[in-house]
Amino acid sequence: MINDKKEDFFENVRLTEKEDSVVILDQTELPNKEMYSELKGIDDFYRAISALQVRGAPAIGICAGFAMAVEAKRLSLIPNLSEEKFFEEIHKAKCYLDSARPTAVNLSRMTDRVEKTALMNAGKGLSEIAGICIRESRLIQSEDSEMCSKIAEYGLSLVKSGDGILTHCNAGPLATSRYGTGLGSLFLGKERGYEFHVYSDETRPLMQGARLTSYELNRAGIDVTVICDNMASIVMKQGKINACFVGCDRVAANGDTANKVGTSGVAVLAKHYGIPFYVFCPSSTIDFDCPTGEDIVIEERGEEEISALYFEKPIVPIGVKCYNPAFDVTDGELITAIVTEKGICRAPYKESLCKLFGK
């Protein structure tokens, strides 16, 4: 049985009781401060998502779903607003939110879901439509939590107590709703008495591995060691790693997978050393409309994240260019299996993903 004591996990995205705002745990402040911020207007949501205060594909989707619902409620309270104008504004909000981060498909998928739910209920009056949007956004969050629990169960069947696991970026509860995807099996295993030795790549430039993964695992009493990204090869060669576990932001129909930049390098190394490389995701991250990794838009972020953000003084000479793609694509052929809430898919992914999800 999965432990459902919710207080063991972070409440990283929460719709407030009044249902007119959302409180997020600001991930840019971790691990030094557990600071919560309230998001009210659509600009607050856009900023929080693009600044990575809330991050990780499923968590972005959950937050954006709530953003749409909160916006629907705000619009419903405007006196004499027509349904036509309401839907026009809802669509504007969706497009604006979607532009905050292009790679994680969960974002546009969840804004789409709330917008479509609203449209399906056209004619019922704005207050009722807004209420339906709120319910739908809560459903997005609870469904994610259920999917993560199932993914954790499947993932646990791939490892044994005592294993060394290498992970990249952060795919834990902070990035989702509860257990997480790539880290979910480790939390679940801990509850069942497994001991894992986790190596967390620091994940340059934004340090999600050093700041967030180590924080979550350490807090749960799971043995975690942070390594620089360029140390993955040595720990693999030394026999410390039995499996690599990572999350993802979009899976193309052929199994090519976008995740935090550096992930594909880990997969190449894992193949070289004969170590299984597992990708974890809920079905909300699989994009059957995207044929291959070539079709995934890779977000490019500011140069200062490389040159200055986490340093007292800039580490790159002024005027020297930096290139900062936030994600890379791991070719499906490097992936041992894709672990979803419905089961575990193996290559050829074009067939196995379609079969599992009835496409």
Rule CB under 6 A: which residues touch ligand MRU? 52, 55-58, 104, 169, 171, 175-176, 180-181, 208, 247-249, 259-260, 326
Complex with ligand MRU: residue 55 or 109, whichever CB lies closer: 55
CB of 171 to ligand MRU, least distance (A): 4
Quick one: 74 or 268, whose CB is closer to ligand MRU?
A: 268
Question: In the bound complex, which residue of the shown chain has the CB atom lying closest to ligand MRU?
Answer: 247
Report the nearest approach of ligand MRU to the CB of residue 245 (Å). Answer: 10
DSSP structure class, residue 212: I
210 or 326: CB nearest ligand MRU: 326
Closest distance of CB 180 from ligand MRU, Å: 6
DSSP 231: G
If the CB atoms of residues 208 and 307 are measured against ligand MRU, the closer one turns out to be: 208
Enumerate the H helices of the chain as residue ranges.
42-50, 57-76, 83-98, 105-120, 126-156, 184-191, 208, 214-219, 232-237, 263-273, 304-307, 349-356
Identify whether 249 is a catalytic site residue.
yes
| Cβ at position 168, least distance to ligand MRU in Å | 7
The smaller minimum CB distance to ligand MRU, of residues 73 and 250, is found at 250
Give phi and psi for 344, each to the nearest 5. Answer: -110, 125
Please state the closest distance from residue 261 (CB atom) to ligand MRU, in A. Answer: 8
Phi first, then psi: what are they for 28, rounded to 5°? -75, -20
Distance CA 247, CA 265 (A): 15
Closest distance between ligand MRU and the C-beta of residue 88, in Å?
30
Report CA 274 to chain centroid distance, whole Å: 27
What is the rounded distance in angstroms from the CA atom of residue 77 to the CA atom of residue 79? 6
CA–CA dist 279, 263 (Å, integer): 10
Name the burial class of residue 347, with classes exposed (0-12), middle (13-18) and buried (19+) by CB atoms within 10 angstroms of its CB.
middle
Residue closer to ligand MRU, measured from CB, 22 or 326: 326
CA proximity to 276, closest of 356, 158, 170, 99: 158
Q: Which residue among 26, 249, 287, 328 is the active-site one?
A: 249
* Of 299, 305, 275, 141, nearest in space to 208 by CA: 305
CB-based contact 332:338 (threshold 8 Å): no
Positions annotated as catalytic residues are: 249
